[in-house]
Amino acid sequence: MSAEFTQTWFPWAMQIGAGALSGIAVGFALRKLAALVLLVVGLGILLLYGLTQIDVAVVNWQALDAQLRTNAEAVWRWIEGMLDNLTAVGVGFAGGVLVGWRLR
C-alpha cells in the first residue's frame, strides 16, 4: 500500500469503525430503555383510561392527540436536521445504532 492511500483512507476508516462500535453500544442500550419507557407510557395510558371509566378523571383525547402529533413532528424535524449533518463518524454511529438495536 502506498503511504498516500494509508494517510487518506485509514483515518476515515477508523472514524467509521469507532462510530460503529459506539453506535452498537448506544443502540443496544436504547432498545432496553425504549422497552422500559413504552411500558411506563402504556401503564400510564391504561391508568388514565381506567380513571375515565370510573369517572374520576376526564381526558380531552383530541387535545392529547394534537399534542402528541406536534411532538412527533418536532422530533422528526430534529432527526432530519441530524441526518443533514452526518460525518464519517456519524455514518458509522448510525449504522452501529441499527445493528445494536437488533442485538438481543
The per-residue pLDDT for range 34-43, each reduced to its tens digit, is 999 999 999 9
Spell out the residues 6+ positions from residue 103 whose beta carbon is closer than 8 angstroms to its own. 24, 27, 28, 31
**Nearest CA-CA partner of 101 in 6, 43, 25:** 25
pLDDT for res 88: 67
Q: Give dist(CA 24, CA 95) in Å, integer.
A: 8
Q: Which three cell numbers stand for residue 55?
A: 369517572
State the average pLDDT over residues 77-93.
79
pLDDT for res 1: 58
What mean pLDDT is reported for the chain?
85
State the average pLDDT over residues 25-51.
92
Give the sign of the dihedral formed by CA 23, CA 26, CA 29, CA 33: negative
Res. 22 pLDDT band, cuts 50 70 90 = confident
State the average pLDDT over residues 80-96.
78
DSSP 56: S
DSSP 85: T
pLDDT for res 6: 67
Q: Give dist(CA 46, CA 32) in Å, integer.
A: 21
pLDDT at 57 over 90: no
